[in-house]
Amino acid sequence: MGKREFVLGALCLLAVVQLSGNVRERPEAAQADASAALPAETKYIALTFDDGPRKGTTDRLLDGLRERGASATFFVVGERIEENKELLLRMQAEGHQVGNHTWSHARLQGSEEKTICQEVSQTQQALEALLGPGEYWLRPPYGKMDEQERKLVSVPMVQWSIDPRDWELKDTEKVVQAVLKEARPNAIILLHDIYPTSVDAALKIVDALQKEGYWFVTVKELLALNGIEAQPGVLYRSGDAKT
């Protein structure tokens, strides 16, 4: 066991210890909910963005989300953090959730234990160095991990319930229609903030669903609003059920 592996192993353990001390942030909507009792038909939904950040698209998305008062979750690729520090700081400052999408967008399913730990820990470490200590939830690239592999992960994991395959369509209207057709309360929508068409689609989706009474919240908020206490190593697909 080399020094580097030991350090990474120690980091994995550290992340577990930090779980218990983490304070959940509640969305403003939830705070208002608690005191003023919003109507029963309040609907929550979560937009998630993978593979970024990317200058020119992510910043435009952040502008649009801010104008609309919508929160989102960004699962970022570790090796993109250094050159996009400002975008990440903005995400945090503007109330979005920042998550881990591995260091090099590695397929974790079928990977060696050492690789999984390294891909996750290295990104966690970079996020902590920039944004401060915290729990950075994981979205495994391609959304899958085997039972044994999940046990290595010390944070909750997020899949999705709506996937319009925006990376393949690269067509704003088709992506919007694919998402709106499937939209329902507590859904988790998968998009990629590295494509201009996906950014345009995301903002149109927010406009359309806000008119229908939806609130856009982070995944962490979505689960908390549904009374789900997110557990490490568990893969969540929506705010409806425990997994």
Residues within window 82-121 making contact with Ni ion, judged by CB under 5 A? none
Q: Which of 179, 209, 207, 177 is nearest to 191 (CA)?
A: 179
Does 53 sit behind a cis peptide bond, omega within 30 degrees of 0 on the bond before it? yes
96 is catalytic: no
C-alpha span between 80 and 127 (Å, rounded): 11
- Residue nearest Ni ion, Cβ-based: 50
Residues within window 183-202 making contact with Ni ion, judged by CB under 5 A? none
Single residue of 78, 95, 99, 141 touching Ni ion by CB under 5 A: 141
- Angstrom CA distances, 156 to 90, 126, 152, 172, stand at 23, 18, 11, 31
Which range, of 17-25, 129-137, 140-148, 153-161, touches Ni ion by CB under 5 A?
A: 140-148
- For residue 106, the minimal CB distance to Ni ion (Å) is 10
| # of chain residues touching Ni ion (CB under 5 A) | 3
What percent of the chain is helix, strand and coil (3-state, nearest 5)? 50, 10, 40
C-alpha span between 175 and 91 (Å, rounded): 23
Catalytic hit among 96, 192, 193, 200: 192
101 is catalytic: no
Does residue 51 belong to the site contacting Ni ion (CB under 5 A)?
A: yes
Catalytic hit among 50, 51, 166, 193: 50
Residue 162 DSSP one-character state: B
Single residue of 50, 119, 149, 221 touching Ni ion by CB under 5 A: 50
Q: Summarize as ranges the residues that interact with Ni ion (CB under 5 A).
A: 50-51, 141
